[in-house]
Homo-oligomer: A and B are copies of this chain.
C-alpha cells in the first residue's frame, strides 16, 4: 500500500513504552449478541483499565518520550478521555498536565481529570474551541502541546490495539472502529492493512458529527458548523489533513449511524454482554444494526473504546427510552 505516516516497527516500539495495565486487553466473542445482530461479534475491550478508555495507549507513549527528553509539562484539548489518560500518564511520571475541555463535557470525565491531579480549564464551545485554547496555553507557557490524532505518538499508541488484533488467532472478516479525530481508525487501520490486509476496516461515525466521514468520501477536508450527537468522544468538526490522508489509505469504508442506533447498541451491549459503554464505543454495533445484510453470517470485531459515561445520562439513554 502507499505510505501512511506510520511505521510498523515504531508501533512495536511504542508498545514497550506503555504500562502493561493498558496492553493485551480482552478480545472475546459475545455470542449472546448474535441473535440480535445476525453475525458473530467479538469485542476488543478497551475499558477494563484505570482510565476506562483506549486513550492511555497513546498518552503513555507521549509521556514516556517527554520524560526521555522534553518539557516536563504538557497541555491537551480533550472531550474527556484523552485528558484523563494524559493526566494518568503524566502523574505516574511526575509531569505537570493541563487539560482544556468543553464545559459541556460529561461531568464523570471532568471529575476524573481533576482527581488525577491535572489542571483542568473549561471553555465555552466544543472540542474545536478547546483545541484553540490549548494552542494558546502551550505557546504562552512554553509547554508541550499534545494534539490528538495529529501527534503521531497518539496514533501509534492506538495502533498497538491493531497488533493485538493481528496476533489473535480469531479469524474475523471485518473490524469496526469508532471514527473521531482518526488516531484509532488510522492506527488500527494501518496495522490491519500492513499485516492482515484481508480484514475489512470499517470506520463508524455519528450522523450528527460526520466531518471526517464526509472528508473521507470527498477525499478532501470537509468541516461542519456544528455537531449534534451524544457521542461526545468523536464529535469533532475540523478533520486534520494529515490524518485524512492516512485514513484514505487504510479505511475500506466509513459509515454514519443514527443516534437511535447508538442508543440501541448501548442497550444491547449492557443487556446481552454486561458491558457499560459510552456512546462512542457503541458505534460499531450501531453500524451492524443499520446494515444487517452487509454483516450477515460474517465475524466482525468491534473495539469497545471507552466506558466513561455520566450515570444519569446513561440511565436515561439505556433504560428510559422506548425500545
Contact = CB atoms under 8 A, between A and B. Distances in A.
A18 to B, nearest CB: 13
Given A52-B274, A274-B276, A276-B275, A21 B32 contact: no
A271 B309 CA distance: 9
Interface stretch (A42-50, A96-104, A174-182): A42-50
Most chain B beta carbons < 10 A, residue from A25, A270, A274, A315? A274
Contact of A309 (B25, B32, B49, B274): B274
A307 interface: yes
Contacts of A27: 21
Contacts of A28: 21, 48-50
Contacts of A70: none
Nearest to A270: B276
A28 B45 CA distance: 14
A71 to B, nearest CB: 26
Contact of A26 (B25, B307, B315): B25
A24 interface: yes
Interface in A113-152: 115-116
A171 interface: no
Interface string A236-265: 000000000000000000000000000000
A116 B26 CA distance: 21
Interface in A257-285: 270-271, 273-276
A55 interface: no
Contacts of A307: 274
Nearest to A275: B276
A190 interface: no
Interface string A197-208: 000000000000
Given A28-B21, A315-B319, A308 B274 contact: yes
Contacts of A270: 276, 311
Contacts of A311: 270-271
A223 to B, nearest CB: 33
Contacts of A274: 47, 52, 276, 307-309
Interface in A268-323: 270-271, 273-276, 307-309, 311, 315, 319
Contacts of A48: 26, 28, 45, 48
A29 interface: yes
A7 interface: no
Query: Which of A27, A28, A45, A315 has the largest number of chain B CB atoms within 10 A?
Result: A28
A173 interface: no
